[in-house]
Every structure is written in structure tokens, then in C-alpha cells.
């Protein structure tokens, strides 16, 4: 009883549980929307297969981080309710129920829909035993020459303890009797990820036939254990708790701390074991005894394991007609008019760059030209995630080798990219760049580039600020927004921010234009919401449009509910986690999620401000970690032409009836299962609009361009039909 009283004292806000949705349950709903895309017949077949793989990839990370965290809280007896009133133990149970339904649906979509339809198009996955004899002979030769030399059997006996199995890899468990032995012995064989998972087999039939690597290994498993009689064998997969925290008391110790933690990841506790659905018997029982993992973390899978690797099949199918046509990135007109990125920015003052609808090339060109330009004196940049062979890093290296003052703030704690970041950070140091390994106690998540250039005997600064990473690979997959500018006040603020990050400078009491967490970003955003509340009247209500990846901060949600109660018109475009639970009858609040071809990754905020509208882009979602525990940036968009473009992009999303899902007062999302796409698909409209805009600017059709630029303030959201009639009846997992 005492413990229960303590819980109520810590969480008195449980009485407001009707205002909140639990964070991890909301994430599962997001991944359910991803799975919906695998069922959407408007998507070409291989695009649907991609979403099967994305769903599994997302789920792996969810177990490694979020499920592991919930289990850890239960083990540490920190089983306290969240604002939605759910304890970690209760969330784990609810997650299990939701996941069982989702995994069953995923298997049905793959096994009964996508793979059979692929087979009608000539793409087959076969078991080795079903192939003709001559084909099997060739396959055996492939196994002995290409696969067998890579395999390493790991025995388990008195001399060989239970091995540390790699997280995420497919393993084959084996029980056998040695020649002349009476007792069973056990071993594991890892399916090596350095080899192709899908092995093409020329069997004489039209199209392409593939064999899964684990099936091939099991077909010839006896060759690994000569002299033994195999009893049982089956594939399985273990996922480990891969999250870790670093007590970075001193920044110069951070690199070694991260490297040490990375080495320890292989030894982290298992958090999930996946088996094929028909896996039973003594070997399975032995495996359960060895792992000693609670039953709720064992999953029986209908069909192949590790569906993330089906991305490989998408490429090997070689059926471009089953993929969506490419949308080549548009070159913003400013960079078509000027060969120099500096001239393009100076001519416009501020330029919008919106990958992947826009090409990522202008950002790369700016860095490449800065590295070569003798008038460029210094380059400062934050880097959170970059690609493995990054042209961004190469340009920074080149700049340092050319004698520029290059300073790079590297975030080593970017989850699952720590090793990659360490590798290229060292390359930058070897090239002569100053590398700052983050900030003690905080993640540096802002995206900022500052270039200092000598022009006509004076110093001029240029900035690029964005909502997304400096990653040329994800720039083709994630929607982001950024600006390039030579605005003196904006550049002044960013220069001061770098002084805070790299030295001992304190943040200013007030920035000229930006806001930055953990200093004042929460305060600035809260003040703007409060302003909408004060200004809102029945005849002239306040207006907020907030587009972000996740909304989970308790204080922000409470403030938004206050704004809604005050009559403020609120549109929330939240791709993933949304812990705001609409009140029944709260018609002035509309919450939508868009899942489509590109991952919605931009953060864009609009405040009506009594007619003097304000627009902001940010690197931060409205989550506690972004507002209080990371270095993030919020920056204004003041150029009227760019604001007009942002209006149009928001209007496309608010009026999308093809890809949006609406969050209902019941806490579930409607489904979007279009059989074909219409003119309302927001991502395609955004691409088409930005392309037309660039073409018109290049043709100097000023009249038509002016019409585009002078579009009205963000359009009112469409009036939807009654959700219960228009949408498919919501299911709990949606």
C-alpha cells in the first residue's frame, strides 16, 4: 500500500489520462500505418514489398531501444504510470497483443499476396529440395565453393560455453549425435550477412528463381558436421538490447567511452527471440532454457525471418515496371541561374532547398565550392548522420587540406551510427579539421553550416540550416526543408551557437532570430502558443499548424489542449508518435499522419499571430529529449516568396485524401487504402509544384510565377465526412 501511495504522489496527473496516448503504443500504431502501405493496392508490387521490409526494420530498432527500456524499468521496479496511465509492465503486455496481430497480418500480406503475385511475374523463391536434380547439383557446387568456406560452426559443450550470438543475424541451431556417442551435442551456425541472402538459381524457367541462403545451408548442413548424425535443426534470430547511455563527464573522454560501449553491445541481454511458427521439440526447449527469456519476448513467425533483407529481392527482381517511376530531384532556379552557390544565395538573400523534391546537389555544391574558393576562410558544421562514403565529409577534408579553418561538431551518440561517426571523425582530424566530439550531457542534433568568406575587403557569412541530416543517401528518401541565407542576423546567431558548442561561451540572453534548445526553444514555442490563446476570439480564432515527426512532450500536449479549449484552430501533421489524445467533440483540432513513398521528416510550424503570420523550420520535434536534452535549432522563414511556397506545401498535406490517416477521439487512426491515386496525393503534388515553380522561374514567366508566389495564407483544412462512415471501422492496432 505504501508503494501505491508513492506512485500516486509521483504521478498525480493520471486523472488526465484521457488527454494522452502512451508513447510506445503510439509508435506501434505508426508502424501499423507503415504496414498499411504494404496492403495498399495503389502502390506498385515491389513498393509494397519495400514496406514489408521497412516495417521489420522499424520493429528491430523498436525492440532494441524502446522495448528494452520498458523491460529495464520493470526489472528496476520503476513500474510507474506514464501520463496516459499505463505502467511499463502494462505497455509490454499491450505491445505483445498488438504485435501478434500485426505480425500475422504482415505474414498474410507477404505469403498470400505479394509473393504469389511476384511469382506470376516470374520471380520465385524455392526450397532447394524442390529443384530439378541438375540444378541441385549446381547449387551444391555453389555451396561448397562460395558458402562453406565462410561458415563457422560454434559447438556448445563443457569446453565451449554458450556463444555470444550476434544481434539481428539469422542463426541455425543444431542438435546431433557424434559418431559412437550416446548424448546429444549442440551447435550454432550463423548465416553470414556478407553473402547474398537471395541466391539466383538458373533452373531453365522464364523469370528468376531464388533460394534463401539459410535454406541452402540447412540443405547441406551435414557437410559442416561430418561424422555426426543430425537430429534437429532450425533457423532463429535473437535481438539484443542495443541502447546505451554514456556518462560523458568530460568531452575528451567521450570518444573512448563510445568505443567501449560499442564493443560491449554484443554482450547485451537478449530482448527478443524469433522462431519459425512450426518450431517445436527438444532443441527448441533446450534453446529456451539457455536464453532464460520471459515467454512474452519469444515470437513465432509465419514465414521467413529477417524480412528487412527483402530489400535485396526488390533490386534482384529487375522489374522496374513494378516500382514507382523516379521523381528526379529538381534543381532550384537560383542554382540554375548561377554557377556559384555564393552568387545564387547573395542574389536571392534566402533560398529554399527541399530534398528529395529538390536535388541535394546545391548543398554539396556549396561545400565543394567553399573547399576550393580562396576567399573562403572558415567552415563550421554540425554532423549527426552522414553516409558511409560521404561527399560532405570529403569536401570538409578537402577544405582542411586547402588551409581553411574547418570545425566540425560531431555527434558520436547518434544511435546506431556511432561507429560510422567515429571512423569519419578521425579522417577529418587527420586532414587537419578541428573536430569537437559533441557537448557533455547533450546530443547535438541541430543541422547547421556556417561559411565565412572574404568579399570586397569585408567579411561575409553564409549559412545553411535544415530540418534533416547532411546525408546524401537519406536526402533521396526523407522529405526535409532547409534554407541557404546570407542574412546578417541569422549568420550572427549561428556563429554564436558554434561558439557555445566549441568553446566556453554562454548562450546570449536573447538571440536575434533563432531559438535553440536546451536554452530557449521550449520557452519560445510555448510563448507563441500562449500568444495564439490570448489572441483567439470566436470571430477571429488563433491558428496553429505544426508539422513534425513526433509529439510526446507532456507540457506541450497540455498547452495544446489549453489552446484547443480556448478555440484556437489547430492542425497537427505528425508522422509518427503522437501522444496527444483528442477530446470527443474537439472539432477545432485535427491530427493527421502521412505515410507515403518518402519518409516525412521535415519540421514546419505556422502561427497566425493575429494576422501577422510567422513561419519556422526546426530540427526539433516536440519531445522532451529535443526540447530539454539536445542542442536543436528553430529558425524563422521571413522571405515572402518562400513563405508562400510553404503555404502551398502545407495546403497539399492538409487536403491529402489519398495518404492521410486521421487520429480519432478514440485514440485510433483511420485507414487509407486507396486502390489508385488521385490528384490529392500530397507528396506528388509537392514534387510537381516545386518542379513547375523552378521551370517557370527559369522561363521568366513572371506573371504566372507571381500568382504562385502570392497564394493566400495556409488554407483552412478540408471538412471531412463523418469518420465512422467514411473510414473503414478502426481496429485496435490501427
**What pLDDT score does 725 carry?**
31
39 within domain boundaries = no
Digit-coded pLDDT (tens) for 22-37? 999 999 999 999 999 9
Digit-coded pLDDT (tens) for 493-509? 999 999 999 987 889 98
41 within domain boundaries = no
Mean residue pLDDT of the chain comes to 88
Digit-coded pLDDT (tens) for 117-132? 999 999 999 999 999 9
Same domain (yes/no): 191, 272: yes
Does the structure show a pLDDT above 70 at 388?
Answer: yes
428 within domain boundaries = yes
**Distance of alpha carbon 171 from alpha carbon 474, whole angstroms:** 30
CATH value at residue 337? 3.30.870.10
**What pLDDT score does 699 carry?**
81
Same domain (yes/no): 578, 463: no
* C-alpha atoms less than 13 angstroms from C-alpha of 48 in its C-beta half-sphere: 23
Higher pLDDT, residue 29 or 244: 29
Domain that includes residue 660, residue range? 515-719
Same domain (yes/no): 128, 80: no
pLDDT, average across residues 411-426: 68
Q: Which of 550, 641, 639 is nearest to 26 (CA)?
A: 550
445 is catalytic: yes
- Of 283, 301, 322, the residue at which a domain comes to its end is 322
**What pLDDT score does 15 carry?**
52
- Of 83, 104, 125, the residue at which a domain comes to its end is 104
153 within domain boundaries = yes
Question: Cell for 655?
Answer: 487536403
- Of 502, 534, 554, the residue at which a domain comes to its end is 502
Q: Decide if 192 contacts 263 (C-beta within 8 A).
A: no
Same domain (yes/no): 488, 619: no
1 within domain boundaries = no
458 within domain boundaries = yes
Residues above pLDDT 70, as percent of the chain: 88
Give 183's pLDDT tier (boundaries 50, 70, 90).
Answer: confident
**What pLDDT score does 256 carry?**
53
**Four-residue CA torsion sign, 81, 84, 85, 90:** negative
Give 701's pLDDT tier (boundaries 50, 70, 90).
Answer: very low
Same domain (yes/no): 667, 556: yes
Does the structure show a pLDDT above 70 at 263?
Answer: no
- Choice among 214-228, 662-676, 706-720 with the minimum mean pLDDT: 706-720
Domain count, the chain: 4
Same domain (yes/no): 496, 352: yes
- 363-372, 497-506, 668-677 — most confident range: 363-372
Q: Are strands 170-178 and 185-190 parallel, antiparallel or unpaired?
A: antiparallel
Same domain (yes/no): 236, 370: no
- CB neighbours (10 Å) of residue 664? 18
Does the structure show a pLDDT above 90 at 398?
Answer: yes
Same domain (yes/no): 94, 233: no
Same domain (yes/no): 352, 390: yes
**What pLDDT score does 419 carry?**
62
**What pLDDT score does 257 carry?**
52
327 within domain boundaries = no
Single out the catalytic residue among 183, 302, 358, 445. Answer: 445
The three state secondary structure string of 415-477 is CCCHHHHHHHHHHHHHCCCEEECCECCEEECCEEEEEEEEECCEEEEEEEEECCCCCCCHHHC
Q: Which of 261, 299, 262 is nearest to 59 (CA)?
A: 299
Q: Is this prediction's pTM over 0.85? A: yes
Does the structure show a pLDDT above 80 at 247?
Answer: no
Same domain (yes/no): 111, 100: no
42 within domain boundaries = no
Question: Cell for 266?
Answer: 554484443
Same domain (yes/no): 185, 305: yes
**Distance of alpha carbon 77 from alpha carbon 85, whole angstroms:** 17
The label of the residue with cell 532547398 reads 353
Same domain (yes/no): 99, 111: no
**Distance of alpha carbon 501 from alpha carbon 437, whole angstroms:** 10
Give 418's pLDDT tier (boundaries 50, 70, 90).
Answer: low
Q: Decide if 419 contacts 262 (C-beta within 8 A).
A: yes
Amino acid at each position: 500500500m505504501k508503494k501505491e501511495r508513492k506512485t500516486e504522489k509521483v504521478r498525480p496527473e493520471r486523472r488526465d489520462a484521457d488527454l494522452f496516448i502512451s508513447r510506445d503504443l503510439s509508435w506501434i500504431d505508426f508502424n501499423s500505418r507503415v504496414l498499411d502501405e504494404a496492403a495498399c493496392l495503389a502502390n506498385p508490387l515491389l513498393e509494397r514489398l519495400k514496406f514489408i521490409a521497412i516495417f521489420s526494420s522499424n520493429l528491430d530498432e523498436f525492440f532494441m531501444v524502446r522495448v528494452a527500456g520498458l523491460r529495464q524499468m520493470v526489472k528496476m521496479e520503476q513500474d510507474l504510470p506514464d501520463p496516459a496511465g499505463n505502467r511499463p509492465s502494462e505497455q509490454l503486455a499491450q505491445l505483445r497483443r498488438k504485435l501478434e496481430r500485426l505480425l500475422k497480418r504482415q505474414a498474410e500480406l507477404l505469403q498470400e499476396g505479394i509473393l504469389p503475385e511476384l511469382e506470376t511475374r516470374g520471380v520465385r523463391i524455392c526450397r532447394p529440395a524442390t529443384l530439378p536434380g541438375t540444378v541441385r547439383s549446381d547449387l551444391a557446387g555453389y555451396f561448397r565453393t562460395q558458402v562453406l568456406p565462410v561458415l563457422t560452426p560454434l559447438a556448445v559443450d563443457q569446453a565451449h560455453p554458450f556463444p555470444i550470438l550476434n544481434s539481428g543475424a539469422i542463426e541455425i541451431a543444431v542438435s546431433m549425435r557424434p559418431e559412437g556417442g550416446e548424448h546429444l551435442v549442440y551447435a550454432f551456425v550463423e548465416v553470414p550477412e556478407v553473402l547474398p541472402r537471395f541466391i539466383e538459381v538458373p533452373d531453365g524457367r522464364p523469370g528468376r528463381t531464388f533460394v534463401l541462403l539459410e535454406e541452402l545451408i540447412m540443405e547441406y548442413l551435414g557437410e559442416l558436421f561430418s561424422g555426426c548424425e543430425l537430429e534437429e535443426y532450425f533457423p532463429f534470430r535473437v535481438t539484443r538490447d542495443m541502447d546505451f547511455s554514456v556518462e560523458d563527464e568530460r568531452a575528451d573522454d567521450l570518444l573512448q567511452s563510445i568505443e567501449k560501449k560499442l564493443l560491449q553491445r554484443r554482450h547485451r541481454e537478449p530482448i527478443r527471440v524469433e522462431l519459425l511458427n512450426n518450431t517445436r521439440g527438444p532443441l527448441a526447449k533446450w534453446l529456451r532454457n539457455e536464453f532464460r527469456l520471459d515467454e512474452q519476448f519469444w515470437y513465432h513467425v509465419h514465414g521467413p525471418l529477417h524480412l528487412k533483407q527483402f530489400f535485396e529481392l526488390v533490386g534482384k527482381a529487375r522489374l522496374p515496371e513494378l516500382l514507382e517511376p523516379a521523381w528526379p530531384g529538381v534543381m532550384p532556379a537560383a542554382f540554375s541561374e548561377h554557377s556559384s552557390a555564393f552568387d545564387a544565395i547573395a542574389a536571392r538573400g534566402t533560398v529554399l532547398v527541399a530534398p528529395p523534391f529538390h536535388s541535394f546537389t546545391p548543398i554539396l555544391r556549396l561545400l565543394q565550392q567553399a573547399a576550393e574558393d580562396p576567399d573562403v576562410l572558415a567552415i563550421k558544421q554540425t554532423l549527426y548522420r552522414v553516409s558511409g562514403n560521404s561527399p560532405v565529409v570529403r569536401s570538409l577534408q578537402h577544405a582542411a587540406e586547402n588551409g581553411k579553418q574547418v570545425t566540425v561538431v560531431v555527434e558520436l551518440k547518434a544511435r546506431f551510427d556511432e561507429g560510422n561517426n567515429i571512423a569519419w571523425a578521425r579522417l577529418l582530424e587527420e586532414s587537419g579539421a578541428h573536430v569537437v566530439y559533441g557537448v557533455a550531457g547533450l546530443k547535438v542534433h541541430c543541422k547547421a553550416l556556417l561559411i565565412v568568406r572574404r568579399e570586397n575587403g569585408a567579411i561575409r557569412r553564409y549559412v545553411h540550416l535544415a530540418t534533416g541530416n547532411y546525408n546524401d543517401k537519406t536526402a533521396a528518401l526523407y522529405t526535409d526543408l532547409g534554407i541557404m541565407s546570407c542574412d546578417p542576423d541569422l549568420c550572427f546567431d549561428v556563429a554564436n551557437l558554434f561558439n557555445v558548442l566549441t568553446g566556453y561561451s554562454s548562450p546570449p540572453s536573447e538571440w536575434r532570430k533563432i531559438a535553440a534548445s536546451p536554452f530557449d526553444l521550449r520557452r519560445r514555442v510555448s510563448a507563441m502558443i500562449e500568444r495564439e490563446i490570448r489572441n483567439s476570439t470566436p470571430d477571429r480564432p488563433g491558428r496553429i499548424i505544426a508539422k513534425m515527426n513526433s509529439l510526446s512532450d507532456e507540457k506541450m500536449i497540455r498547452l495544446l489542449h489549453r489552446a484547443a479549449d480556448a478555440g484556437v484552430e489547430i492542425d497537427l501533421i505528425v508522422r509518427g508518435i503522437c501522444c496527444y489524445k483528442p477530446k470527443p467533440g474537439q472539432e477545432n483540432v485535427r491530427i493527421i499522419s502521412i505515410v507515403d513513398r518518402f519518409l516525412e521528416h521535415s519540421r514546419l510550424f505556422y502561427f497566425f499571430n493575429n494576422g501577422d503570420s510567422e513561419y519556422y523550420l526546426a530540427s526539433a520535434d516536440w519531445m522532451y529529449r529535443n526540447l530539454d536534452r539536445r542542442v536543436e535549432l528553430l529558425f524563422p522563414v521571413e522571405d515572402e516568396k518562400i513563405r508562400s511556397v510553404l503555404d502551398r506545401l502545407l495546403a497539399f498535406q492538409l487536403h491529402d485524401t489519398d495518404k492521410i490517416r486521421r487520429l480519432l477521439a478514440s485514440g485510433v487512426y483511420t485507414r487509407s487504402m486507396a486502390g489508385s491515386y488521385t490528384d490529392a496525393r500530397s507528396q506528388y503534388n509537392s514534387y510537381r509544384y516545386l518542379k513547375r515553380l523552378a521551370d517557370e522561374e527559369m522561363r521568366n514567366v513572371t506573371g504566372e510565377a507571381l500568382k504562385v508566389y502570392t497564394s493566400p495564407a495556409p488554407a483552412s483544412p478540408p471538412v471531412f465526412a463523418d469518420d465512422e462512415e467514411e473510414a473503414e471501422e478502426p481496429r485496435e492496432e490501427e
